[in-house]
Amino acid sequence: MFLVINIIGLFVFLGIAVLFSRNKKHIQWKSIAILVLINLFLAWFLMYFPWGKTAVQSLANGISWVIDSAHAGTGFAFASWVKPGAMDMAVSALFPILLVVPLFDILMYFNILPKVIGGIGWVLAKVTRQPKFESFFSIEMMFLGNTEALAVSNEQLKRMKETRVLTVAMMAMSSISGAIVGAYVSMVPGDLVLTAIPLNIINAIIVSSILNPVTLEEKEDIIYSIQNDEVERQPFFSFLGDSVLNAGKLILIIVAFVISFVALSDLIDRLINLITGIVGSWAGIKGSFGLDQILGAFMYPFALLLGLPWGEAWIVAQQMAKKIVTNEFVVMGQIKDVVDSYSPHRRAVITTFLISFANFSTIGMIVGTLKGIVDKKTSDFVSQYVPMLLLAGILVSLMTAGFVGLFAW
């Protein structure tokens, strides 16, 4: 029964996208069907087929192997911080960024990563029949993150019409950064993290193509270089030094966001519990409810549509809502010690739902980045559709969890 509900849920999520589409008549259903079939195959291959499961697990082990080198660097400076059982979230999940970010930047410096991105994007465009740049951007944001991918694509964005920029903004809501994957793997099951990433890419294209269908002439479907030739190439070690500094800043930003959001959500939760407790006592009702319960009520129907039992769905709904309001690290920090004890389906659903930057703060980052790249008319146009950006991010996360959930029982 739960499998049937899971299947129905996927159709409901697609239906919601159609309901809020800017132009239902121009939805390219043939392309959407191809993308859905690709995601079904990917979910089956990575979750069910032995070779796929082995490949994903091997890649997850490889990332863990790299993370061990990061911990060796941390241990050299702070030996007591990396003792077994002594590592907290910041050390185990975030300090490896000091290795992973420079590693990615080195691949960018020697033009290795741009070639990989371009090659995969070209194949994706051919298979899915989507515009070349949108396919290219979906791969680009997987490696670089949303604001970084927008920044290196600035020449392309300046030349695109506003409706296509809106599509890119929607897709950016569902990105992650390759540099953050190591942090995810250290907190939740690595095989599910790596399974969610390619599914997110395809789902981002599906959802944005339904919410914001765009028709292109052949002359418009071109890609400009992601490299800015006007910027002088830095000496390697100067470049590497800047990369390490940027990695350090990124850690501080994440820590600041996590501390602030957890503190604010806890304060709001306490205030709501206090108010509802007082009102309840006046009405002769014992108990109270807080922020998690309010947000969970909104996400509860969607959790049920992911094929979860009633009791589990309520808990997962609250976790999904908290991720949207705060960020994925807050929820990962709460479940990292217990996620392996979950049922296979619940474990797959909540883990894959968390693997994206889709939350309120990401909207500000995307809109702010675009304001610095495109003209005022285009940025104002995108800003009009902020609720649609959030909807796109939530639907992509739900669909990824739904596709993976089909093969995790």
Facing residues of 144 across strands?
177
pLDDT score for 33: 92
Of 31 and 14, more confident = 14
pLDDT score for 249: 81
pLDDT score for 309: 94
Q: What is the Cα–Cα distance from 170 to 385, expressed in whole angstroms? A: 9
pLDDT score for 223: 67
pLDDT (tens digit, 9 = 90+) per residue, 325-340?
888 888 998 898 899 9
pLDDT score for 301: 96
pLDDT score for 259: 78
Checking if the pLDDT of 229 tops 70, the result is no
pLDDT (tens digit, 9 = 90+) per residue, 243-258?
888 888 878 876 777 6
pLDDT category at 89 given cuts 50, 70, 90 is low
Checking if the pLDDT of 16 tops 70, the result is yes
Q: What is the Cα–Cα distance from 60 to 253, expressed in whole angstroms? A: 26
Show me where the domains of the chain are located. Answer: 1-48, 50-126
Of 16 and 136, more confident = 16
pLDDT score for 230: 52
pLDDT score for 167: 92
**Would you call 23 helix, strand, or coil by DSSP?**
coil
Checking if the pLDDT of 299 tops 70, the result is yes
pLDDT score for 379: 87
Number of residues assigned to the chain: 409
Neighbours of 37 (CB within 10 A): 11
pLDDT score for 186: 82
Checking if the pLDDT of 8 tops 70, the result is yes
The DSSP output letter for 83 is S
What is the average pLDDT value for the chain, to the nearest integer? 84
Checking if the pLDDT of 351 tops 90, the result is yes
pLDDT score for 209: 92
**In percent, how much of the chain has pLDDT > 90?**
31
pLDDT score for 58: 83
Distances (CA, A) of 385 to 134, 238, 244, 380: 18, 40, 36, 9
DSSP codes joined into one string, 224-287: --SS-TTSPPPPHHHHHHHHHHHHHHHHHHHHHHHHHHHHHHHHHHHHHHHHHHHHHHHTT---
Task: For residues 396-401, give the mean pLDDT.
Answer: 96
pLDDT category at 14 given cuts 50, 70, 90 is very high
pLDDT (tens digit, 9 = 90+) per residue, 110-125?
878 777 777 877 777 7
pLDDT score for 302: 96
Distances (CA, A) of 16 to 21, 27, 396: 9, 14, 12
pTM assigned to the model: 0.82
